[in-house]
Structure 1
Amino acid sequence: MLKASPMVWTGRVLTGLFALFMLGASVLPKLAGMPVATETLTALGWKADYVLMIGIMELAFVALYLFPRTAVLGAVLMTGLLGGAMATQVRVENPLFSHELFSIYLGLFMWGGLWLRDPGLRALFPWRAAANA
């Protein structure tokens, strides 16, 4: 068995941090029916009825992301969800760096972790060095 490179381990750490954050700060409060999840969603203009559905989608997308065979699908679906979250933050005119761009930060962790640990994704989106003049 091949030993994983430092790049792959860095990708795994970023993936783990993303998954832990999503599960602890987003998915579990929604699935557990915590009042903070409902209060936050309603403050953003969404119906409280959507809390459970969003929590289930987040859990499903994180699960897909964590399995190597479905990781890209999970990342694409989660990107869509993060885009909707960002659009909501923009619509209610929340602060730029702490709220509106938070989905971008999460997306960078998610895609960065996947890119570092998945050679197929690195082949599809290679890091190019500056061309020699």
Structure 2
Amino acid sequence: MSISETAPASTGALWTGRTLSGVIVLFMIFDGVIKLPPLDIVTQTMVPLGWSADANVARMLGVIGLISTALYALPRTSVLGAILLTAYMGGAIATNVRVDNPLFSHTLFGVYLSVILWGGLFLRDPRVRALIPFSR
């Protein structure tokens, strides 16, 4: 089945996808923006995770997150953005595994966000539905 043959999403599915994607975009904007200024709360919470308390490290992570989020929010680059955000979440998961944080509340949080991210994209983008056909 080609992309042109993919059935359009119902209005409800489309709006559910937009809502899920909007939640991710808002969360990631917040996450990225708080890392840009040298906030002590941000840099000090990075130390127990094994990261440097250097504001430039936090700023770099914030910029990477914001660029990936912008790519995800734009329809033409949403798949690339989803891939980059999934990689970003993978880094968060690996960090939490390394410091032995609790599984369901900390370590898997990146998995939860990634599921919401891809679910929203699946519901709003026929290219993704054609790539991952759950039913025929």
Tell me if TM exceeds 0.5: yes
Task: After TM superposition, list the pairs within 5 Å mapping 1:80-119 onto structure 2.
Answer: 80-119=87-126
In 2, Cα distance between equivalents of 1:48 and 1:77: 24
Task: After TM superposition, list the pairs within 5 Å mapping 1:36-75 onto structure 2.
Answer: 36-49=41-54, 50-75=57-82
In 2, Cα distance between equivalents of 1:109 and 1:34: 28
Give the alignment's Cα RMSD to 1 decimal: 1.7
In 2, Cα distance between equivalents of 1:118 and 1:64: 14
Q: Which residue is 2:22 aligned to?
A: 16
Unaligned runs of 5+ in 1: none
1:78 is aligned with what amino acid?
Answer: L
Q: Which residue is 1:121 aligned to?
A: 128
Q: Secondary structure at the match of 1:54?
A: helix
With the length of structure 1 as denominator, give the TM-score of the two structures: 0.90
Contact 1:29 1:36 in 2 (8 A): no
In 1, Cα distance between equivalents of 2:13 and 2:122: 10
- Deviation of 1:128 after TM superposition, in Å, equals 2.4
In 1, Cα distance between equivalents of 2:40 and 2:20: 29
Unaligned runs of 5+ in 2: 1-7
How many corresponding residue pairs?
Answer: 127
1:73 is aligned with what amino acid?
Answer: L
With the length of structure 2 as denominator, give the TM-score of the two structures: 0.88
Percent identity, aligned pairs only, is 50
Runs of 4+ in 1 over 4 A off after TM superposition: none
- Deviation of 1:29 after TM superposition, in Å, equals 1.1
